[in-house]
Amino acid sequence: MGPTRPASLVVAGLASAALAWLLVSSFYSHIPPLPWLPIVTLLGLAALEGFAAANTRARIERRPGRDPVDPLAVARFVVLAKASALAGAIFAGFYAGLDVWLLIERTRAAANDVPAASAGLGASLALVGAALWLERSCRVPDRDDRDSESDDLRRRDEP
């Protein structure tokens, strides 16, 4: 499994933005005001993943006072991070498409929904950032003893 590619997140976000634009432009008059609960949920997930990233990195690096990390837990965190990055990109695209449409629309209802849509975009981007940080924190750091062993093997093979 490789690291998450930024291009795949951008494509997911753009597709979601286009879908949001299409849906909102067709059905905006039939939907209620935007709720704030999804934004709070996205921010909560971002905070939890940010905490997990900092904690996991400290445990992988075996900093003093930290217990060693369970490899299976790290694998689960990587899966969570990859899924959260994609979900965050989809939400960010949706909120971006919605936000742009709301800023163009000149009605009072649209103006009232702009703060929620903008906050949703920010929360979604925070989730993407926290997920990518968690994914990066789960990488095994390069160790000096591995580098010296590989250098020794290379020197033996050289004439």
The share of the chain scoring above pLDDT 70, in percent, equals: 89
| CB of 42 closer than 8 Å to CB of 118 | no
pTM, entire model: 0.85
**pLDDT tens digits for 45-99?**
999 999 999 999 989 888 888 888 898 999 999 999 999 999 999 999 999 999 9
Output the six-digit token pair for 62.
């075996």
Q: How far apart are CA 109 and CA 134, in angstroms?
A: 38
Q: CB of 135 within 8 A of CB of 78? A: yes
Mean pLDDT of 5-14: 97
Distance CA 37, CA 39 (A): 5
- How crowded is residue 93: how many other Cβ atoms within 10 Å of its Cβ? 25
Say what the pLDDT of residue 145 is: 54
